Each structure stands twice: as C-alpha cells, then as structure tokens.
Structure 1
Amino acid sequence: MGKLGRFACIFVPMALTIASLVCLVLVFSGQLNKDMKLQRDLYFFKADTSDFIDNPDAVKVLNDVNIDNNLLQALQGAAQNAKLKDFYTVGLWNYCEGDQDKDGKETITFCSPRKANFWFNPVDVWDLDNGTSAKLFEGNVQKSLDAYHKVAGWMFSAYVIAIILTAVEFVVGLCAIFSRWGSLVTTIVSSAQTVFVFAAAITSTVIYGSLAGVFETALKPFNIQASLGKQMLSVVWLAVAFSTASGFFWLISICCCSGKSPHKKVSVEKTPYTYERVASPYLGASAGGAGTHPGHQLGNMPSPAHGTSGSAYEPFRHERV
C-alpha cells in the first residue's frame, strides 16, 4: 500500500502539470493553421479594418474629430492597393489576415511565416511605408509600438522557457513516484516554471492590452477597431493557475506519502548464548521463580545428572537459541 499511496499523492500534481503543458501548447499553436478553428480563434490581438472609410469624400463626415491626415491618406492608399484586409489576428509566432463577407463571416486568406521574437508592425503589414511613415504614428501609439517591439523578444523567450520547463517537470515528476528527493527536485523545477509562465502571461496581457487601447483610441476615427483575444488570454492564465497549483502539490508530496509500508513487521531475535533464569532444584518452585506445582517438595527433586558435591548447584543454564 505504500507505493500505491505514493502514486496517488503524485497523481494530482502530475495531472496539473500535464494540463499546464496542454495550455502552453495551445498558446504556441495559435494562428499557425488557418484551416483549424481552434487555432484560428487563439490570438493575442485583433485589428478589425472591415469598416474602414476609404472614400476621401467621407472625411467630411469626421470633421468634428481631430484626424491625422497623413495616416488617413496612407491607410486609404493601402486600401486602394488591396493591401488592407478586413481583419488581422496576431499570435505568438505570426499573424493572419482575411476577408469578411456581408454576413460577418470571417475567412483567413493568409498567415505569415513563423518567426521567433515576432511582433506585429502595422507599417510593414499594411504597406504604409512611404515618405511620411515616420510621422504616421506619434505620441502614445508610437510609444506602445516601440515598447511592444522591445518586449516581444523577452515575451517569446519566456514562453519557450516555460514550455521546456513544463516538459522537464513532467519527466522529473516520474521520479517523484519513488522518492521524496524526486519530489524536492520536481518542486524546484516547478517553481522556476511557474515564474516564467507568470512572467510571460503578465507581459503578454499588459503589452497587448496597451497596444489594443492606443490603437482603439488612435484609429477609431477611421473606423478601425482593436481588441484583445480573450480566448488566448484565458488559456494563458489557465496555464498559470495549473502551474501554481502543481507547484503547491509537489511541495506537499515532499512531506507526505513516503512510499514505505507503515505496517512492516520487525522481528527481534535473541542473541546466541543468552542466560535465562531457571527454577532451582533445591529451593523449590517459589525460589526458582517458575510457575511449577505447589506440592513439589525438595525431597522429590531428581538428583543432577552429572552429580554435584555438597550444596553446589547451577541457578542459570547455558542455552543455545
């Protein structure tokens, strides 16, 4: 029952580790396959340009709003050259773009190649690189883009390290079934994994939240909407929850369920050549300390087999066990 109890104690953190690994795999798979709905729905950031006003005469409708004419002209040029699609979704490795029909159904038509340390640059993606590109995004928008560009590398590395440590945690956790030392090592790996998962989650939430906020503010006059991918962030924070819980249970497994049977029999044998008290043939049962018959008299006791002289007798016998 000791090994069985140990296995039951390890099962919970092991299951939580697997759940965290599955969540991280889903994060890595977002936007990698345009033909799978699950991967299409997993994105950090989305820009909806389907309602963009590409008619220069329509600018008059927005006279009450402070509009950046350089950015408006660049976006209109991209729309006229078919460089501006209806929507863009951003994942960890790449982005995808597509069209939207009259019923609002979205169809992804292209996904960019996978790239480490990827970041979504609207100037390049929307082909806005013209003579005024340096002035297209100013103020908070440009600051957010610069911060996003700088942090994207760290964020990608954090996710890579997190998924590697999760896999290592699962492998090392198998050793914890047989030893508390295995639980200790697994707890250390799990703690490091939780730190990187949490760091990656908080970084992606803050940076993409800030990016969506400034895009929504700066591009809303052009009917371009920006939003966070709730499903992707839900998966990310589920990974954090599973990682934290697994680390807690790995820590408990150090102190509980040793794997040894609590009912193991311990036999104690007598050492050879020990002395035991025997009844005296001369003093009777009461003097010898043995529970013999009370009517046993001294005169009825048999004489020693090897004979004695005088009153000599041996009160202890030498017994081999």
Structure 2
Amino acid sequence: MSLGRIVCIAFPYAVTVGALVSLIFVGIGSTNSKSSTDNDLYFFRADLSNLTISGTSLLSAAESALSDLTSRSDADSALESALTDAVGKSNIRDFYDIGLWGYCSGNKTSDGKYVVDYCTKPKAEYAFDPVEVWGLNSSSADSAIDDILPTSLKDALSTYKAVSKWMFIAYIIAFAATALELIVGIFAICSRMGSFITSLISGVAFLFTAAASITATALFAVYTGVFNSDLKQYDIHGSMGKNIFVATWFATAFAFAGIFFWLMSSCCCAARSPYHGNHRRNRVMAEKAPYTYERVSTPYGNSPYIGGSAPAPAPVDPYTQHHNVPMQPYRSDAYEPFRHV
C-alpha cells in the first residue's frame, strides 16, 4: 500500500459517501414530525388551507356542514359532497406532505408557515390515497368510492400507486448497492482488482439511483399537473418538493462520478510492491548471484611471504605423503584460492 494509491482511492470513495448521504436524505423525508430537516423533504405537498366548497371557505364549509347536512345534496359533484362531509367531521388538515415511507400533515399559520404535527409510521411501498386519508369514503352521500374523484385524477392516482412501488424498490436497491460499494471500496486501496470490482458495484448503484430519480421526478410532475387541474375549482393546490429532488439528483450525480473515478483507479495508481522501483534496484544490488566467489583465508596466514613472522607448517595430505610428492610453498603471485558459494 502506498500513499499514491490511498490518494487515488480517496476521491471515488468521497463521492460514494456523498451518494449514500444524499439517498439517506431522500429516505428520511416526511418521517419525523419533530425534525425540521425531515419536514422539508417531501415529494409532493397537497395544500388544502384555502379549500373552498360552493363559494365558501374551509371554515364556513365546516360550519355549514355541521349546521345543515342537507346542503350536501346541492353539491355540484360527488367530490364536492364528500369534501363537505369530510370538512364537517374535521378529517381534512391544512396540508399533506408525501415522502418515500409515508406522509406528514399539519396546519398553516397566519404568516404562511407550514407546521407539521403528525407523521405516519414508515411503511414500505407507500402510496398516498387522498380518498382514504381525507376521509372521503366515509361520506354517506356517495354510493361508490370510484365516483368520488374525476376520471383523470383517478387514473393518475392508480398510476401513482403502481409506479410508486417500483420507485421504492429502486431506491432500496440503490441504497444497498451504494453501501456495499463503500465496503468493497476499502479493499480497493490494496489492489486495482479491488477497484475494478468496486466499479462494477458502482454501476449497479448508479443504474438504480438514476432510475429512481427519473421515476420520482416524472411521476410527481404528472401527478401534480392532474391534481391541480381537477381540484383547482376547490382551491386545492399541489406542488412538488424542492429539497428532496435536489437530494435525489445529487445522489445520481455522485453515483455517476463514482463509476468514472473507480474505473480510473482500476487502471492506474497501482499499489507499490517491495520489488518496485528503487526498492527493487536496491535489493538486486544487495543480492548475490548464484555463482559468485569469495576469497577464503589462506592456511598460511603466518607465512613470511605475506607478512607472517614464521613459516606455517605445511598441511599433511595423506595422498602426497604416500607418493612422496613435495608440497609446493605458497606463492604470493599465484592465483588466490576461491570457494564456490
């Protein structure tokens, strides 16, 4: 492991962390009524604070419904009748914020602030149903729930319920793949193969993050348009959230950057081995070749020819002694004896 390798991995690791944090912001939206951060993260807001029924405001409609329930028979539509009845029973809040796991509701203050005081328990594959949440299906004036909403809004709501399940699954897979990318990315510090494997995982994370972001944006854009078109006469207004879409598209951008930089780290910045560069050269210089020789000490260390004070006794060799072969004196100009290593 080298410092260059660590620096090379630091950037893709950082953008992966950014993608994971952005996905966490998407997931916590509209889940905690006591958190101002969570309350600012929503896909869609239905504002009913200015709800008007038959030319009356929300308050006057409630008073009218409580004082004279027969007035609902004069409603222009089944939806108007259901809204009048729901207002009379105080089933409708000023606004509703829709998140990934549920919705939050609350009241709108006189200065225009939205104060959340209730959030549902997180639920997988959640889809907001205004008929159920607003209590429109409790109206005795309507024989069939399907007749409450206009046809276009009912179709948009059905599409939203179906697509929201896929959107939820895509976000869960994107979150899991991004978390796995961070875990495997630790091993990328040691090798380029680790970077390559991490880049494959980052590809999966980007695919599902982008798919979830595109789905959420398109889904709620269409839903908002139909919602405002069909409920405009009641002064019910729908709007898309800002912060949660910023978070989801930041996650997409980070995920895309992760693919690019993980691939870059798998092609360069190899971890330095002990046999690389100067380390290898130094090691080769210090090693001995397999057939080198070194000088051995002479048995005639005390010979006068080499500075000794007295001649050393000649070694007795059984072979030369037996054949009366005289031992030659040591010559300083002869070749030095060597030994094989």
Give TM class, smaller chain. 0.7 to 0.9
- Are 1:81 and 2:122 an aligned pair? no
> Aligned partners of 2:292, 2:176: CA distance in 1, in Å?
63
Any idea what SS the aligned residue of 1:213 has?
Answer: helix
Correspondence list, 1:299-310, <5 A: none
Q: Matched residues, percent identical? A: 36
CA contact (8 A) 2:185 2:195 kept: yes
Pick one of 77, 91, 94 that aligns with 1:69. Answer: 77
1:220 and 2:232 matched: yes
- The aligned runs of 1:53-132 (5 Å cut-off) are 53-54=52-53, 69-129=77-137, 130-132=142-144
Q: What is the one-letter code of the residue matched to 1:8?
A: V
**Structure 2 regions of 5+ residues with no counterpart?**
58-74, 294-326
Partner of 1:170: 182
For residues 155 and 149 of structure 2, the distance between their equivalents in structure 1, rounded to whole angstroms, comes to 9
1:136, distance to aligned residue in structure 2 (A): 2.0
The amino acid of 2:199's aligned partner reads T
Instruction: Tell me whether 1:251 sits opposite 2:267 in the alignment.
Output: no
Question: In the TM superposition, what whole-angstrom CA distance separates every residue of 1:34-59 from its partner, at most 9, and x where no partner exists?
Answer: 1111100000000000001145668x
Whichever residue aligns with residue 279 of structure 2, its letter is: K
**TM-score normalised by structure 2 residue count:** 0.75
CA deviations on 1:276-313 (whole Å, 9 max, x unpaired) are xxxxxxxxxxxxxxxxxxxxxxxxxxxxx979xxxxxx
Residue 265 of structure 1 pairs with residue 273 of structure 2 = no
Residue 24 (structure 2) pairs with residue 25 (structure 1)? yes
TM-score, normalization by structure 1: 0.80
Question: Any conservation in 2 of the 1:216–1:224 contact (CA below 8 Å)?
Answer: yes
Asked if the contact 1:208–1:228 (Cα under 8 Å) also holds between the matched residues in 2, the reply is yes
Residue aligning to 1:10: 9
8 Å contact 1:54–1:79 — kept in the other structure? no
After superposition, the CA RMSD in angstroms is 2.4
Q: Is the 8 A contact 2:102 2:119 kept in 1?
A: yes
Q: In structure 1, how many angstroms separate the alpha carbons of the residues matched to 2:261 and 2:108?
A: 47
Name the structure 2 match of 1:194: 206
Per-residue deviation, 1:255: 0.6
Measured at CA, do residues 215 and 153 of structure 1 come closer, stay the same or move farther in structure 2, by a change above 3 Å?
same
Match of 1:157 among 152, 159, 169: 169
CA–CA separation in structure 1 for the residues paired with 2:112 and 2:230: 24
Instruction: Judge which range, 139-148 or 161-170, deviates more.
Output: 139-148
Tell me if structure 2 keeps the 8 A contact 1:19–1:239.
yes
Shift of 1:264: 2.6
Which residue of structure 2 aligns with residue 62 of structure 1? none
Deviations 1:232-259 (A, max 9, x none): 1010000000010011100000111001
Unaligned runs of 5+ in 1: 59-66, 275-304, 308-313
Asked if 1 retains the 8 angstrom alpha-carbon contact of 2:30 and 2:98, the reply is yes
- Which deviates further from its counterpart, 123-132 or 67-76? 67-76
Secondary structure of 1:264's counterpart equals helix
1:198 CA displacement: 0.6
| SS class of match (1:39) | helix
- State the distance in 2 between where 1:197 and 1:19 align: 13
Q: Distance in 2 between matches of 1:214 and 1:41?
A: 23
Give the SS at the match of 2:51: coil
Specify the code of the residue in structure 2 equivalent to 1:198: A
